[in-house]
Structure 1
C-alpha cells in the first residue's frame, strides 16, 4: 500500500455537564493494523475528493489588513499549533502529548467559537506517495442495527467517515520545502457562513491563502477572453470550452488538481499564443488548484436564479432553441422539455 502510517491516535469529544465540549484522551497510539490502515486509506480518499476546502498557511503574529479598524478586527494568529508541530517534527516532543495538548487547544477553540461538536477526534501523521501529512479529523459516531447469525437484532456503533465536516490537513512536505507557499494547510470551510473556516484558522494560527473558487472563476474568465482573442466561431468556442470542462472534471473525479500547463497542452492553439502563454501573469492564476464543480458548470451552461426563477441550459442552445432579447429583457424557448410542458399544460 502506498499509504504508510507513522503515528495515529484517537481521542473523544463529548458534551460535559455544563453543556460545554470536553475531551477524553488516550495515552497510547494505535497499532497500524489492517483495520487502521483501511480507515486511513478511506479517509485520505474521501478528503482528497472533498470539495469546498479552504487553503491557508501558518501566519502567527501576522496582522490582518483590517486589524486597525476596531475591536472586532481579526487578531494576530497564535503560534501555539505551529510551535508544537515544529517541536514534534524535530523530535523534541512525542506524538501522544502533542495530540493531547492540541486536543485541549481544540476544545478551547470550540468554546471560543460557540461550536458544539462531538465525536472521535483523530490525529494521524502519515505518508502517501512520498508526501508527509498531518491529519486532524472529527469523526461522528452513528448507531445502526445489525442482524446476528442467530437472526437476532442488535444495536451497533460505527464511525460515519463519509461526512468529514470537521477536518484539517497539513502538507508537511510542502511546508518544509516551500515555506513561502500559501496553500499547504487545507481545512473544511462548511457550507453555511464562515464558522468552520474561522475555527480552523484560529486553531492552527493560520491565514487563508488561495481561494479555490476564485481560481476557478479566473480560469473561466481566461477561457472566455482567449476564445474572444482567437475570434473563434460559436461552434469552435463551444468545443473549446467543452474540452476545458472535460479535462477539469476528469481531474476532479480522479482527486487531482487542475494543472494549467497540462490543460494548455491538451487544448488547440496557434504556435504564437497557446492558452498557457495567453494567461501569463495577468489572470493571477496558480499553476495548480482544485476544481470547483459548481463554478466549472459555467463553461458549458448558462445558469441563473432570482425572484423565484431558476434557469439552466446548454450554452450551445443559445441562438438555436433559446433566444435572448436584451431590449425587452425576455428569453424565448423553443421546444419546451416534455416533462416541463406536461406540468405547464396541467396547470393552465
Structure 2
C-alpha cells in the first residue's frame, strides 16, 4: 500500500462568521477506500494546470527578506523536522491547516476538507495536500432505498499541492513542488504560494510551447516525409500526455529516444545545439499539448504539412478564395525555388 499516512482536517466557513478549524486528533487508519481516494485524487490533480517550483534557497531567502517578501513560510522547516522525527504527522498537518484556515477566512466563503497524504511510489516519497468541497449525491442503502449522500468533489479542488520529498532532500531538482489554484483569483493564489513557501522556478506552459517549437524546427530541418512527420508528432504527444497523466516531467533525453530509436540522441542534440534554453526536465502543460497537431494534405503533386499553431501567423487560409498563404517560406524550399528562376 503506497499510503504511509493520511489525515483530514475540516475548515468550516458559514457566511460572515470567521472560518473555524476542526482538527483531526490522529491519522486515518489504513483502508481500501483511502487507496481509491488516492487514485482519484492523483487523477484529478494531474489533470489540472499547475505551477512548478521549489522552496527558496539561502540566496532567494535573503532577497525575499530584503524585499519584505511574503514567501517566508515555516513549512520547509516543519517538513525537515517531521522527516527527522522531531514531530508527528498530526502536528505537521495541523500547522498547515491552521494557516490555510486563516487564508480561506480572507478569500473564500465555503467550507472544505483539507486532505493530506504521505505516500511512496517506487523510490519516490511524496506529500500531497488538497482542499476539497462536497457535493450532494445519492446512494442506495441496505434496504435498497435511494438516500441522499454527501460526497467529496474531487474535480473541485480549490487548492492543492504536491511535494516530491525525495527530490527536495537530494537537491537534484528545482521543480519538486507543484501546486494548483482552481478558485479565488490572484490574491488567493499568491497567498497559497506564500503559505507553501514556494518559489516558482519553471514556466510549464512556456517550456512546453518552446519544446513544441523546437520539435517543429527539427521536423523542418530533417525535411521528413509527411507520414514520418505525423508519426513523430503522435509519438511526442502520446509520450508527453502519458507523463502528464502520471504527474511526471518530460525528460528530453527520454523523449529523443521515443522519437527515433535508430538515432536516439538526434532530437536531443538538435535542442542542445540550437540552444532553446530548455530545462532537461519539463513539466508538461496539457492545454499546450492539446492545441498542438499538424495539418497535412496532398493533391495534384503538391504536398503540404504544417503545425496548427502556425495557422493565423506564418500560414493563412482564405476559405472564400480557397487559397493558402505561406508567409515564411522554408529556407531549403526557398533555395530550390531561386534555382528555377
Deviation at residue 246 of structure 1 after TM alignment? 3.5
Deviates more, 1:202-211 or 1:163-172: 163-172
**Which of the numbers 296, 313, 322 marks the counterpart of 1:316?**
296
Correspondences of 1:145-156 after superposition (within 5 Å): 145-156=138-149
**Equivalents in 2 of 1:100, 1:11: separation in Å?**
7
Give, in whole Å, the separation in 1 of the partners of 2:92 and 2:226: 59
The correspondence for 1:50, drawn from 47, 50, 64, is 47
Shift in Å, 1:316: 0.9
Question: For the Cα contact (< 8 Å) 2:44–2:155, is it kept in 1?
Answer: yes
Pair 208,85 (structure 1): closer, same or farther in 2 beyond 3 Å: same
Q: Look up the match of 1:181.
A: 173
- Alignment correspondent of 2:182: 190
1:136-147 alignment, distance < 5 Å: 136-147=129-140
- CA change 1:299–1:8 in 2 (3 A) is closer
Partner SS state of residue 285, structure 1: coil
Counterpart of 2:29 in structure 1 is 31
Match of residue 171, structure 1, among 144, 164, 173:
164
Distance 1:40 1:250 in 2: 18
Structure 2 vs 1, CA of residues 320 and 96 (structure 1 numbering), >3 Å: closer, same or farther?
Answer: same
- What is the Cα deviation at residue 322 of structure 1? 11
With the length of structure 1 as denominator, give the TM-score of the two structures: 0.76
Q: Would you say the 8 A contact 2:160–2:181 is kept in 1?
A: no
Spell out the pairing of 1:8-157 with structure 2 (5 A cutoff). 8-16=6-14, 18-47=16-45, 49-59=46-56, 62=60, 75-112=69-106, 114-157=107-150
Question: Cα RMSD (Å) of the superposition?
Answer: 3.7
CA contact (8 A) 1:138 1:166 kept: yes
Query: How many residues are paired up?
Result: 313
For residues 206 and 276 of structure 1, do their structure 2 counterparts lie closer, same or farther at Cα, with a shift above 3 Å needed?
same
Shift of 1:168: 0.8
Measured after TM superposition, the shift of residue 265 of structure 1 is 1.4
Corresponding position of 1:261 = 253
Specify which of 198, 214, 220 is matched with residue 222 of structure 1.
214
SS at structure 2 position matched to 1:163: strand
Comparing 266-275 with 288-297, greater Cα deviation is found at 266-275
Secondary structure of 2:238's counterpart equals helix
Conserved? CA contact 2:14–2:110, under 8 Å: no
2:156 counterpart SS class? coil
Given the superposition, is the C-alpha separation of residues 34 and 200 from structure 1 closer, same or farther in structure 2, using an over 3 Å criterion? same
- 2:61 touches 2:72 (CA, 8 Å); kept in 1? no
| Corresponding position: 1:249 with 2:247 | no
Distance 1:254 1:58, change over 3 A: closer
Q: Which stretch of structure 1 is more off in the superposition, 238-247 or 132-141? A: 238-247
What secondary structure, in the 3-state scheme, does the structure 1 residue paired with 2:169 have? helix
